[in-house]
Structure 1
Amino acid sequence: MDNKLENPVWHSLCETHEKFAINYDNVKFYNPTICPFGAFTEASKTANALNEYATLTDKFFLVSETKTPTYDKDKILLYKKIDGCQMVLENLTDFDITEEIIPLTEKHVDDIFNLVWLVMPGYYRKRTFDMGKYFGIFKDQKLVAVTGQRMQTNDFIEVSAVVTHPKYTRKGFAKQLSQHVTKEILTAGKHPILHTNKGNPAIQLYEKLGYKLSRDMNWWFFHKK
């Protein structure tokens, strides 16, 4: 599995999420209506692929642990490189769930999108919902916290979209949802992983759940000129 974790987007698009893949000479992207992520094995091929993908969407990411993608500076702008990290579950810390956690369905797609973009804009698309299972906590008949699954292979599933409405933070919602989704992944017979920015205070939460830092994972954020 470690080989797949070195290039998680690539292997997701080769396996469980192959149906979402767009392939440009072995540079693979998600359909941009699903997720604006791509990955590669040969950096020399990314420039042409980025030009092609830019005809479908204005902003997108290439994800890589160590390799630096090439790009056509006349057509593509590198907005920034986001220094991220990958975490993998070592031993799950179990604790009581005190909130009612609801499986989210198609009727919740807009609510999930609006909450994620309120708290963490940039990554999530409405049809990101199709990548895996999502769960939420409701208060006053409103979705106030959500956590779901994103990248997947035959071996791992990524915990993602761990967000809580600003008015409902510090109540343990993210912790309970993250544990719930982690258990769902384990029940499916796969290994839980997650990605976040370096220095994110949430890393401490994930470590308390039993995750450990495993490697850097860079997110190259490109704009079409």
Structure 2
Amino acid sequence: MNTLLDRPIWSALSTVHAPLAEGDGLARRYAPGFLSLAGTAEDTPQAAADFASLVRPGETLYFLQAHPVLPPPGFEALVATEAVQMIAQDVQAVAPDEAIVALGAEDAEEMMALATLTKPGPFSLKSQALGRFWGVREGGRIVAMAGERMKQPGYTELSGVCTHPDHRGKGYARRLSLHVAAKIVEAGAQPYLHAFASNTAAIGLYETIGFSLRRSMHVAALRRPD
């Protein structure tokens, strides 16, 4: 069983993304300014205590793991819901798409504005430090994007897939997802992704491009009181 993907945040922060991590012991988090994600190596009182020591007063961090998330004493669970983890065994070959362009540091503000509007998941001005991003422009503005987020040895997460509400229905999410998945494979990794279990439209889309369910996951947003 692939335990790297059962605790994807912990495994990313203790391997490929270790330079972006804070914490030691049994808990890690992305350094402030990158992503509001944290994970633990196990579900034990010591791991919970190690996590609690990483959270600032009033701060909220997200957990994503295969097993239910147990908040440390005194923490509030603002969100507790189910997600799915999907993995691509065979990525479809796609022809070059001239509409899709690489996004860079100069696009960060515009990318952040699109993510804030569409809410594809935790995102920040520093999200490009985690991996590569691509987008589609119309009228000189970014109207859709997708990219890479968590990375473990041999795996890269497809994430940040979003389209401006005024430009939905044009197939941008599908085209960008295929493009990013192909780029991940070219780099020698296997693509995987996450979606809320209730987001059946997104799950259906990912199934059509070669992703299949690996397992159910649990998401929790844990807040430390002020």
Place the TM-score, normalised by the shorter chain, in its bin: over 0.9
Determine the C-alpha separation between the residues in 2 that align with 1:203 and 1:128: 23
In structure 2, do the counterparts of structure 1 residues 57 and 134 end up closer, same or farther at CA, with 3 Å as the change threshold?
Answer: farther
For residues 147-193 of structure 1, the C-alpha deviation after alignment (integer angstroms, 9 at most, x for no partner) is 01000012100000000000000101111110110010000010000
Q: Which residue of 2 aligns with 1:59?
A: 60
Q: CA deviation at 1:98?
A: 5.0
Q: CA deviation at 1:3?
A: 2.4
Q: CA deviation at 1:219?
A: 1.3
Q: Which residue of 1 aligns with 2:33?
A: 33
- The answer to which of 180-189 and 122-131 deviates more is 122-131
Determine the C-alpha separation between the residues in 2 that align with 1:161 and 1:121: 5
Determine the C-alpha separation between the residues in 2 that align with 1:12 and 1:173: 28
Q: CA deviation at 1:122?
A: 5.5
Q: CA deviation at 1:50?
A: 3.8
Q: Which residue of 1 aligns with 2:8?
A: 8
Q: What secondary structure, in the 3-state scheme, does the structure 2 residue paired with 1:126 have?
A: coil
- The answer to which of 93-102 and 120-129 deviates more is 93-102
Are 2:194 and 1:181 aligned? no
Paired residues for 1:95-174 under 5 Å: 95-96=94-95, 98=97, 100-120=99-119, 123-174=122-173
Q: CA deviation at 1:126?
A: 1.3
Determine the C-alpha separation between the residues in 2 that align with 1:46 and 1:26: 5
Aligned Cα root-mean-square deviation (Å): 1.8
In structure 2, do the counterparts of structure 1 residues 51 and 6 end up closer, same or farther at CA, with 3 Å as the change threshold?
Answer: closer
Q: Which residue of 2 aligns with 1:215?
A: 215
Q: CA deviation at 1:69?
A: 2.7
Counterpart amino acid of residue 39 in structure 1: G
In structure 2, do the counterparts of structure 1 residues 164 and 124 end up closer, same or farther at CA, with 3 Å as the change threshold?
Answer: same
8 Å CA contact retained: 1:145, 1:173: yes
| Stretches of structure 1 lacking an aligned partner (at least 5 in a row) | none
Report the TM-score, using the length of structure 2 for normalisation. Answer: 0.92
Superposed structure 1 runs of 4+ greater than 4 Å apart: 95-99
